[in-house]
Structure 1
Amino acid sequence: MPSTGVDVVPSSVGFIGLGVMGKPMVVNLAAKLPPGSLIHVHDIVAAVVDELVASFPGIVVRCASAADVTSKSDVIFTMLPEGAHVKSVYLDPHTGILSALSGPSSHSAGKLVIDSSTIDTATSLIVKEQLAISSPTTSFYDAPVSGGVLGAVNGTIAFFLGCSPDDANIPRLTYFLGMMGGKVIPCGGPSLGLAAKLSNNYLSGIITIACSEAMDMGMRAGIDANVLASVFAAGTAQNAICDVFNPVPGVCPKAPSSNGYQGGFRVQLMRKDIGLALDMARRLGTRNALGTSGLGVYAAASEAADCKDLDSRVVFRYLGGIENWKEPMS
């Protein structure tokens, strides 16, 4: 096994939250951890736990609660939908992570706790503060991800890590995060991983709307969608949304738009993240000229019957884009 820069590799890992992102992250861990390692998991949906335990017998172990996972693990990951869920999983006095880290019988020395949820920075800082008070030997980090479900499955997601590049735990953090992702970017300090993620998703969401509008405008003028995409790729409008996740069906064969907008990053999640970004902007005094309009588009698309629960690039459909452009236009 190649050197990891880690003196002692923990053999017991915990993972709480096995949704569309968490589940494939656990699969990658199970495939890449050294032989003899255990992954203790918990989720409120029993079926997904059953599936992982059956797929990785002797590696993935079911736990009754977040506290149970924590008591049995040296490194604990959480991947949860919203700030309220993070507060509950961490701070519940009976079943939460904190309950297993504090108290006379706890064994928390040197444990790493990493939250990859995309939530508001204030909640993350509250959790970090409570952990520091009750269990000062435990290290907590925010490490939200970017790359979507496909990136989680392929192990190519990027982690935005809320710490400085010279943090003492960087070797251990990059070792474990590297099993699930392609890049680990330290962003400077506590909650700054989240600040980076919200800034990224704000930009990605606004670009998606602009790309949808520009593609529709050019197509209605008579330009072939593939030609128009190649123009953007060659010009100053070049961007990853147009190149990889083009919202127009058929331009990027592997993009969710070319698969009925299935998979990818759900439109409701983009609405949530842009809302969180705007909340952060208001606290910081940042002027966001496009934010309110962008949030309105995603909020409306999230409620539209033909867009809800689909990939966020479905805003092309919501905005009236021509999806059947390969067919003759009447």
Structure 2
Amino acid sequence: MATTSPPKGSYGFIGLGNMGFGMAKNVRQKMPASSKLLVCELVQSQRDEFCSAVEGDVEVARTPREIAEKCDIIITSLPNAAAVKKVFLDPSTGLLSGCPKDKAILFLETSTIEASASLEVLDAVKSSALAASFLDAPVSGGIPPAHAGTLTFMVGGPEDVFEKARPIMATMGKPENLIHCGGPGAGLATKQINNYIAYCSYVALCEGMNTGLKFGLDPKVLNGKTDVINASSGQCWNSLHMNPVKGVLPNSSASRDFKGGFKTELAQGVTRQMTKLMEEVGAKSVFGPVMDDVWARAVESDLCKDQESRSIWRLFTEEDGKLLGKTKIE
């Protein structure tokens, strides 16, 4: 689908972390040259690095309130629901404390948080910023696509607002991967379901690869560049890109000894978001308790904590899997 150029105006970006840094960089590169970008980030080293690395008109804002006072388009990329609520709702420094009721600000909230928390923020926006628009627009792809501008956006909110935001999202993501998922909260629910399925499939891949190794199978035949799993019905995103056995897939996190990338603690958070969502809507869950248990063990283990999340492979292989205990479904 053809995408028009991003609109003129003042842009604000809050959160220059692992994902936000690359996203904000692409916004500045692709937004109108005459427009100004204001950034707000708690960590000074991140602010300084961004300002020195990015060309174009960039100004540092001291608080989210200052962003709201000066910007027409505001993008947030934050680590958790508590941070999102503080950025929007803090009575002294938050976005809504400085947002005029009659100013038609577009809020593009790209953090991966609970849908219920996002809906709480949306209600506050509706109450205090009457002319503003709000989309929950979590992203998928990881840090390299954030820098490359090839993310996928899963978006919840009014369709007309989605279309208005499309050219802005296209500065950070693939135009064909800007997906309107439904009304408010739908983007986050979709993201949580996607994350959960991906991690369930990775746990299954760990079990399969560990079984294959113990049986004496060649892991590169089982799941390598030319392999059985990816030529058969077991194929999934992780089997294509993230085999846990070092040396099988050269670009997997296993080949970096699970350094960098999406950490175990963050994976536990997104998995818990999904199990909470299943509870909230009354959906039957079979794997949920097992997944919660796996990640609870991972964040306490020296083999996995503060490592890339797919380091949970080590729980299957070290000490003959005893670190995983005897979790079962009742």
- Structure 2 CA distance, aligned partners of 1:117 and 1:4? 23
The partner residue of 2:298 within 298, 301, 307 is 301
Give the match for residue 310 of structure 1: 307
Matched letter for residue 118 of structure 1: T
On the 8 A contact 2:136/2:185 being kept in 1, the answer is: yes
- The residue correspondences of 1:90-101 to structure 2 (distance < 5 A) are 90-101=88-99
- Structure 2 CA distance, aligned partners of 1:319 and 1:302? 15
Give the match for residue 203 of structure 1: 197
Unmatched tracts of structure 2, length 5 or more = 320-330
CA positional deviation for 1:58? 4.3
The count of corresponding residues between Structure 1 and Structure 2 is 313
- Structure 1 CA distance, aligned partners of 2:236 and 2:299? 24
Give the match for residue 327 of structure 1: none
The partner residue of 1:14 within 12, 17, 21 is 12
On the 8 A contact 2:29/2:55 being kept in 1, the answer is: no
- Structure 1 CA distance, aligned partners of 2:146 and 2:169? 11
* CA offset digits 1:81-134 (Å, max 9, x no partner): 111111111000110010111xxxx37522100111111111111110111111
TM-score normalized by the length of structure 2: 0.90
Give the match for residue 194 of structure 1: 188
The partner residue of 1:288 within 280, 285, 292 is 285
On the 8 A contact 1:219/1:228 being kept in 2, the answer is: no
1:251 aligns with 2:243: no
Relative to structure 1, the CA distance from residue 150 to residue 4 in structure 2 (aligned partners, 3 Å threshold; closer, same or farther) is closer
CA positional deviation for 1:320? 1.1
- Structure 2 CA distance, aligned partners of 1:205 and 1:216? 16
Unmatched tracts of structure 1, length 5 or more = 323-330
- Structure 2 CA distance, aligned partners of 1:85 and 1:320? 36
- Structure 2 CA distance, aligned partners of 1:154 and 1:76? 21
- Structure 2 CA distance, aligned partners of 1:70 and 1:226? 53
- Structure 1 CA distance, aligned partners of 2:206 and 2:125? 44
CA positional deviation for 1:4? 4.4
3-state DSSP of counterpart to 1:320:
helix
Name the stretch that deviates more: 299-308 or 92-101.
299-308
- Structure 1 CA distance, aligned partners of 2:204 and 2:235? 12
On the 8 A contact 1:244/1:252 being kept in 2, the answer is: yes
Give the match for residue 176 of structure 1: 168
The partner residue of 2:34 within 33, 36, 41 is 36
On the 8 A contact 1:150/1:264 being kept in 2, the answer is: no
Identity %: 35
Runs of 4+ in 1 over 3 A off after TM superposition: 3-6
CA positional deviation for 1:57? 5.2
- Structure 2 CA distance, aligned partners of 1:207 and 1:248? 15
3-state DSSP of counterpart to 1:186:
strand
- Structure 1 CA distance, aligned partners of 2:260 and 2:148? 14
Give the match for residue 278 of structure 1: 275
Relative to structure 1, the CA distance from residue 100 to residue 20 in structure 2 (aligned partners, 3 Å threshold; closer, same or farther) is same
* RMSD over equivalenced CA pairs, Å: 1.7
TM-score normalized by the length of structure 1: 0.90
The partner residue of 1:53 within 42, 51, 54 is 51
3-state DSSP of counterpart to 2:13:
strand
